[in-house]
Amino acid sequence: MKTLSILSALCGVALMGAASGADITIYYSPTCPHCHHAREFISSNLIYEYPELKVTEVNVFEEANRPTFEGALKKCKYESGGVPVLVIGEKCFQGYGDSMQQELRDAIEVDLDDAAKATAAENKAAMEKDADAFKTEHADRTNAISEYVVAAEPQKKTDGGSSIWFYVFLIALVAGLGFVLTGSGNKKK
């Protein structure tokens, strides 16, 4: 299990390090309303505005994802484990409010060239004009979001030998208890 935790943390650091200006990693909890709003903004706006954007969602409720989340908190120098945490390139954001939308866009655009920024501005204008039509035309953009999944540690196969010893021990314990209980009654004659 410790190997899995170390491997998860290394994968998380690699995941964060691989993010360019146009990539987002969002650490969220399914029960967090701010996380829901941040994920909604990303999936309804940002993935359409920025055609090269890749989004990785990390559910911090999943025990296997905890080391990855802890790695992000350490990288971002956050003391609390509050979510959402968004990592965009080298910038980190903890929490979410609608007032942050332009700041998130700015973080995405840090490493984009002028042509990519112009495309994003055009896409945003088209979304403001007719979001449903634009989203239908660019339906493939929903593939830009993926869920982070830790590779499971291979299960060790057992021959069942340890369970046999458990039942042998259990039978011996019951037999010994029966002997003590019946043997004690015979001595009181």
Of the candidates 4, 16, 10, 143, the one whose C-alpha atom is nearest the C-alpha of residue 62 is 4
Residue 19 has pLDDT above 50, yes or no: no
Residue 27 has pLDDT above 80, yes or no: yes
Q: What's the pTM value of the predicted model, to 2 decimals?
A: 0.70
Distance CA 165, CA 171 (A): 10
Residue 149's pLDDT band (cuts 50, 70, 90): confident
Which pLDDT belongs to residue 12? 44
Of the candidates 63, 52, 49, 92, the one whose C-alpha atom is nearest the C-alpha of residue 5 is 63
Which pLDDT belongs to residue 16? 41
Residue 96 has pLDDT above 50, yes or no: yes
Which pLDDT belongs to residue 100? 97
Residue 9 has pLDDT above 80, yes or no: no
**Average pLDDT of the residues of the chain:** 83
What architecture (CATH level 2) is domain 2-147?
3-Layer(aba) Sandwich (3.40)
Which pLDDT belongs to residue 17? 39
Residue 9: enclosing H or E segment and its boundaries? helix 2-17
Q: In whole angstroms, how far apart are CA 109 and each of 39, 126, 143?
A: 19, 18, 20
Q: Tokens for 107?
A: 């973080």
For residues 103 and 94, the answer to whether their CB atoms sit within 8 Å is no
Helix (H, G, I), strand (E, B) or coil at 5: helix
Domain ranges of the chain: 2-147, 157-189
What order of strands is seen across the sheet that includes strand 85-88?
A: 91-94, 85-88, 23-28, 54-59, 145-147
Proportion of the chain above pLDDT 70, given as a percent: 71
Which pLDDT belongs to residue 73? 97
Residue 167 has pLDDT above 90, yes or no: no
Q: Which residue has the higher pLDDT, 176 or 107?
A: 107
pLDDT, tens only, 99-125: 999 999 999 999 899 999 999 999 999
How confident is the model over 131-153, as a mean pLDDT? Answer: 89
Q: Identify the residue whose tokens are 């701010």.
A: 34
How confident is the model over 48-62, as a mean pLDDT? Answer: 96
For residues 27 and 69, the answer to whether their CB atoms sit within 8 Å is yes
Residue 187: enclosing H or E segment and its boundaries? helix 161-187
**Cβ-based neighbour number of residue 121 at 10 Å:** 13
Residue 59 has pLDDT above 80, yes or no: yes
